[in-house]
């Protein structure tokens, strides 16, 4: 009976690793069951880290799983009269403390740059001979339950009266660093684009900045990943990554369509600035 | 049994008349730690069933979105054709988590097993403060009342998630107030328990039971009690702050005033992230409160059924202490993308990597305990090996998520759901089940059925992996948690079949618990009688009668050795009880 249980426990690492590997290589029936296709430069590093950590895990997973299987197979009480009597092994304990410690320290250092690039070092531009943070291209305003994307109007600045404003559709160029400014009108939301490996919570009273560089033309979902109420799951936006040329064309068309001045008393007019003032 | 109860008049004081009062004082307002432990056990098992039903409802919605939900649909939403509203789904996962964490895992580990085992395992008659102990159980009942009442309010309960992040929780319905009050009561209950455990362990050990002769179960309960004593006040304070934001229009957690129905409900000037810091400062140590006692109990069970000393007893204790200490400085890994200072993420990442080390040492020591043993694969042993096997998965996925860049992709997705269910269900619940099978003969004087126990194990083990393993794939794809219907997104439409597979496994796993239920209650009546030490174990509780009378021991236990002297080469039998005098 012990051998039956040994096989059962061995199935955990065997099936577990098999499905992971099949999913990573896109083998049926697990094709597309792993990370979605990536469309950002920073996403490549994130994917690399994800797979690296999973491979390291897999080695430990298989190793420890094999030990469990082996002890169940080998040390059945029916085939042994006496258990060994030992309670420690100092050399072994030092080894299995130091080796994992080295692996963990390696992992800790290995990923620091990636985090810094994705979340800490904002892209810069040079203006009048000075290097400044790249200004945000779009103001993303989250609200229950949808997204508002505010593009700069003719003055070239966001957060001004002539902003152009679209609901739930974001159009951005590929091949250039895009900076987004995230704000919320009500509760906490989170801006998540799985295919760009981008996620940032949007907290009331705070401005968040995120940036990425799209690599290819594509269309993808934007999802909210912080619980925001009954319609949390309805907070769907679409992101279209287009070429720089198409983006410029699209912007020109938008500006041509835009009504020249918005009437502040019109209830349809988005109350961007006023509403957020205390 | 010759020396069954030597002083019956001491242990069962004879009373005349008032049989009702005697019943009440013995079984209801009991001060005996064993009865209180059983009270915690039975109420936790009841809530386990409730929380499980909520989980089944969640899985139904994810597999068959907006279809007529069994039980809940026809009774609550007949007019909508049994279709649940989005807010009801939010209630389901909020209450599933709240109940499972605060009414099941914490009370069953600390409340039930902590209470039952600590005095028995250290050779004490009872807890240091029996009356405080009674209060710690009865303070759970106002919490139960709050949660049950909250189900009757509009929206059928709190809907802000168990994390209750402001500002959403500040504008949530009245059920949120009851939720906060309920958790405050749970906190008071746990606090009383933790003070009692610490005092009892430090002050009431039998002669010869010095700290490094205590079984791992007692060590784990001791460390857990310390964690609770230091972490809980923070949660309690935060809960009061949220309550006062909601009821007294203070502004701890909202940056701007919130106006509802033309009156200011919150004055503004606060900080939503403050709640997250306070909440996780408690709730990350709470993760260890929910696993350390199970680790302790599993260590004892593994050593007993491997008939071998626990490998690395002292490193096991030191790693418990390290996990508890580091547990206070890793809370930020829940907040990598929350908007907190991004530099801080690096420090929290490093501390999180460090905490993987003592956890890993514990796993290696468990494997070392099994190595070279003489294994009896009883039901408690299978559940304990299952604990180790599942804890490895939960621990490894923890390392993956602890990397902040990777966390960007998988935060708030089903990868997280997979991870904490592997730790909390795969490890903690399997550990609890193993402990129930192991100590049942001591608690009730009867044995549970082994065949049904093994059936329960194999079904639970297979279907828990079928349920939680595929969630890793969902999460890597970005499938968000807390979504009533993610299939509105093109990205996630093809994940419906996988979700249906998970739901099928979850239902079968739920059904497998019926085997346990039948075994547990059936064995109370039909189980074969157990003697004092049915497993031939060393620790003190096994030298007391089964079940132990009020006052526990029918002799004064004196401790002569550590708890893990199995298969000593100079002994003819393969165990050596701690109380047996040296030859």
Domain spans of chain A, in order of start: 2-76+90-119, 128-276
Q: Are residues B153 and B245 in the same domain?
A: yes
Tally the C-alpha atoms within 13 A of residue B301's C-alpha that lie toward its C-beta: 28
Question: Per the CB < 8 Å rule, is A12 touching B465?
Answer: yes
CATH number for the region A128-276 comes to 2.60.40.420
Cβ atoms B498, B473 nearer than 8 A:
yes
| A255, B118, B190, B418, B426 from B136: Cα distances, Å | 67, 16, 7, 32, 28
Residue B416 lies in a domain: yes
**A236 CA to chain B: closest CA distance, Å?**
7
For residue A191, pLDDT beyond 50:
yes
Measured between its terminal Cα atoms, the distance across chain B in Å is 23
- Pair of tokens at residue B499: 């979700």
Q: Are residues B328 and B207 in the same domain?
A: no
Find the Cα–Cα–Cα–Cα dihedral B431, B433, B436, B438, rounded to 10°.
-70
Residue B73 lies in a domain: yes
Residue B259 lies in a domain: no
B554 exposure class (CB count in 10 Å sphere: 0-12, 13-18, 19+):
buried
* A245 — pLDDT class (breaks 50, 70, 90): very high
* CA atoms of B340 and B274, how far apart (whole Å): 10
H helix runs in B290-378, sequence order: 292-306, 313-326, 344-370
Residues in chain A within 8 Å Cβ distance of B386: 9
Q: Are residues B520 and B438 in the same domain?
A: yes
Q: What is the pLDDT of residue A276?
A: 37
Structure confidence by residue, pLDDT tens digits, A10-51 = 999 899 888 888 887 877 777 777 899 999 999 999 999 999
Please give the backbone phi and psi of residue B404, each rounded to the nearest 5 degrees, phi first: -55, -40
Which of B313, B396, B404 minimises the CB distance to A87?
Answer: B313
Question: Per the CB < 8 Å rule, is B272 touching A80?
Answer: no
Question: Per the CB < 8 Å rule, is B312 touching A93?
Answer: yes
- Pair of tokens at residue B106: 């914490």
**A1 CA to chain B: closest CA distance, Å?**
9
Residues in chain B within 8 Å Cβ distance of A55: none
- Pair of tokens at residue B369: 């305990």
- Pair of tokens at residue B246: 């909601």
Its domain, for residue B221, covers 31-249
Q: Which residues contact B213 (CB under 8 A, 6 or more apart)?
A: B559, B561, B562, B563, B578
Q: Are residues B95 and B163 in the same domain?
A: yes
Q: Cβ of A27: how many Cβ atoms within 10 Å?
A: 13
Give the start-end residues of each E strand in A14-133: 124-127, 130-133
Q: Are residues B233 and B323 in the same domain?
A: no
Residue B194 lies in a domain: yes
Q: Are residues B317 and B387 in the same domain?
A: yes
Q: Are residues B240 and B295 in the same domain?
A: no
Which of A83, A115, A233 minimises the CB distance to B346?
Answer: A115
Total number of domains in chain B: 2
Residue B312 lies in a domain: yes
Q: Are residues B215 and B89 in the same domain?
A: yes
Structure confidence by residue, pLDDT tens digits, B326-343 = 999 999 999 999 999 999
Cis ω for the linkage preceding B547 (within 30 of 0): yes
Which of A49, A97, A190 minimises the CB distance to B405?
Answer: A49
* Spatial CA neighbour of B436 closest among B36, B109, B115: B109
Interface test with A, best of B264, B318, B476 (most A CBs within 10 A): B476
For residue A217, pLDDT beyond 90:
yes
Q: Are residues B227 and B345 in the same domain?
A: no
Residue B19 lies in a domain: no
Q: Are residues B231 and B329 in the same domain?
A: no
Interface test with A, best of B408, B494, B573 (most A CBs within 10 A): B408
Q: Which residue of A has its CA nearest to B258?
A: A186
Q: Which residue has the tokens 């807890």?
A: B127
Residues in chain B within 8 Å Cβ distance of A15: 465
For residue A278, pLDDT beyond 50:
no
Residue B208 lies in a domain: yes
Q: Are residues B238 and B103 in the same domain?
A: yes
Residue B494 lies in a domain: no
Q: Are residues B234 and B335 in the same domain?
A: no
CATH code for the domain in which residue B370 is found:
1.20.210.10
Residues of chain B falling short of pLDDT 70: 1-21, 258-265
* CA atoms of B371 and B379, how far apart (whole Å): 19
**A154 CA to chain B: closest CA distance, Å?**
31
Question: Per the CB < 8 Å rule, is A57 touching B400?
Answer: yes
Question: Per the CB < 8 Å rule, is A88 touching B311?
Answer: yes
Residues in chain A within 8 Å Cβ distance of B566: 83, 85
Please give the backbone phi and psi of residue A111, each rounded to the nearest 5 degrees, phi first: -100, -5
Structure confidence by residue, pLDDT tens digits, A133-173 = 999 999 999 998 899 999 988 887 888 888 888 999 999 99
Interface test with A, best of B409, B459, B494, B572 (most A CBs within 10 A): B409
């Amino acid at each position: 009976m012990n051998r039956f249980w040994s096989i059962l426990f061995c199935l955990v690492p065997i099936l577990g690793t098999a499905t992971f590997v099949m999913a990573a290589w896109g083998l049926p029936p697990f094709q597309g069951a792993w990370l979605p296709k990536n469309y950002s430069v920073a996403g490549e590093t994130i994917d690399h880290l994800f797979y690296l950590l999973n491979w390291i895990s897999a080695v430990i997973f298989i190793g420890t799983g094999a030990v469990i299987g082996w002890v169940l197979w080998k040390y059945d009480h029916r085939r042994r009269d006496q258990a060994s009597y030992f309670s420690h092994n100092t050399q072994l304990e030092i080894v299995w403390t130091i080796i994992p410690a080295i692996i963990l320290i390696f992992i800790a250092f290995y990923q620091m740059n990636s985090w810094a690039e994705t979340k800490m070092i904002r892209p810069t531009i040079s203006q009048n001979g000075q290097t400044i943070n790249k200004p945000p291209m779009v103001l993303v305003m989250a609200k229950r339950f949808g997204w508002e994307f505010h593009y700069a109007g003719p003055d070239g600045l966001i957060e001004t009266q002539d902003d152009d404003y679209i609901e739930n559709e974001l159009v951005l160029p590929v091949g250039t660093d895009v900076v987004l400014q995230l704000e919320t009108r009500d509760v906490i939301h989170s801006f998540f684009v799985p295919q760009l490996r981008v996620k940032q919570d949007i907290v009331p009273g705070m401005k968040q900045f995120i940036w990425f560089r799209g690599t290819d033309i594509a269309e993808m979902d934007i999802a909210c990943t912080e619980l925001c109420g009954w319609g949390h799951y309805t907070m769907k936006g679409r992101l279209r990554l287009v070429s720089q040329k198409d983006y410029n064309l699209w912007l020109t068309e938008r500006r041509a369509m835009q009504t020249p001045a918005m009437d502040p008393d019109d209830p349809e007019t988005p109350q961007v600035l006023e509403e957020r003032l205390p | 049994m010759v020396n069954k109860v030597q002083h019956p008049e001491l242990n069962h004081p004879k009373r005349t008349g008032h049989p009702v009062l005697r019943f009440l004082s013995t079984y209801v307002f009991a001060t005996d730690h064993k009865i209180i432990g059983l009270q915690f056990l039975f109420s936790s098992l009841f809530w386990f069933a409730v929380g499980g039903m909520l989980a089944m409802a969640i899985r139904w919605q994810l597999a068959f979105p907006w279809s007529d939900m069994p039980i809940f649909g026809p009774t609550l939403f007949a007019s909508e054709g049994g279709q649940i509203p989005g807010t009801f789904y939010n209630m389901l996962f909020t209450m599933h988590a709240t109940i499972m964490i605060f009414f099941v895992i914490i009370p069953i580990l600390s409340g039930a097993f902590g209470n039952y085992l600590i005095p028995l395992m250290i050779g004490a008659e009872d807890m240091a403060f029996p009356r405080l102990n009674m209060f710690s159980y009865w303070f759970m009942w106002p919490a139960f009342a709050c949660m049950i009442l909250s189900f009757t309010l509009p929206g059928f309960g709190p809907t802000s998630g168990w994390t209750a992040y402001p500002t959403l929780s500040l504008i949530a319905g009245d059920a949120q107030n009851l939720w906060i009050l309920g958790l405050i009561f749970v906190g008071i209950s746990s606090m009383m328990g933790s003070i009692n455990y610490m005092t009892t362990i430090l002050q009431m050990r039998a002669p010869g039971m010095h700290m490094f002769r205590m079984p791992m179960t007692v060590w784990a309960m001791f460390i857990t009690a310390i964690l609770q004593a230091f972490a809980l006040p923070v949660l309690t304070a935060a809960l009061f702050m949220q309550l006062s934001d909601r009821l007294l229009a203070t502004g701890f957690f909202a940056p701007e005033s919130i106006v509802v129905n033309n009156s200011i409900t919150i004055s503004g000037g606060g900080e939503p992230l403050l709640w997250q810091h306070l909440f996780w400062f408690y709730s990350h140590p709470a993760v260890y409160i929910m696993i350390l006692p199970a680790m302790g109990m599993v260590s004892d069970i593994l050593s007993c059924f491997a008939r071998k000393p626990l490998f690395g007893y002292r490193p096991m204790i030191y790693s418990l202490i390290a996990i508890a200490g580091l547990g206070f400085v890793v809370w930020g890994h829940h907040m990598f993308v929350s908007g907190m200072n991004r530099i801080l993420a690096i420090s929290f990442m490093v501390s999180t990597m460090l905490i993987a080390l003592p956890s890993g040492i514990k796993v290696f020591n468990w494997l070392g305990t099994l190595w070279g043993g003489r294994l009896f694969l009883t039901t408690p042993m299978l559940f304990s090996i299952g604990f180790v096997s599942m804890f490895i998965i939960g621990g490894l996925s923890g390392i993956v998520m602890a990397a902040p860049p990777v966390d960007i992709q998988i935060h708030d997705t089903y990868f997280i759901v997979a991870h904490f269910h592997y730790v909390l269900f795969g490890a903690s619940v399997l550990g609890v089940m193993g402990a129930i099978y192991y100590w049942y003969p001591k608690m009730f004087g009867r044995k549970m059925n082994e065949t049904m126990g093994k059936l329960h194990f194999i079904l639970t083990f297979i279907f828990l992996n079928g349920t939680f393993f595929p969630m890793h794939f969902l999460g890597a794809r970005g499938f968000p948690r807390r979504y009533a219907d993610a299939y509105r997104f093109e990205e996630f439409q093809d994940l419906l079949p996988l979700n249906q597979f998970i739901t099928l496994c979850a239902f079968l796993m739920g059904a497998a618990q019926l085997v346990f239920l039948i075994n547990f209650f059936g064995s109370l009546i039909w189980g074969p009688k157990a003697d004092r030490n049915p497993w031939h174990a060393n620790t003190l509780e096994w030298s007391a009668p089964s079940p132990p009378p009020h006052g526990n021991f029918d002799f004064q236990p004196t401790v002569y050795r550590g708890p893990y002297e199995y298969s000593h080469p100079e002994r003819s039998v393969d165990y050596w009880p701690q109380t047996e005098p040296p030859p």
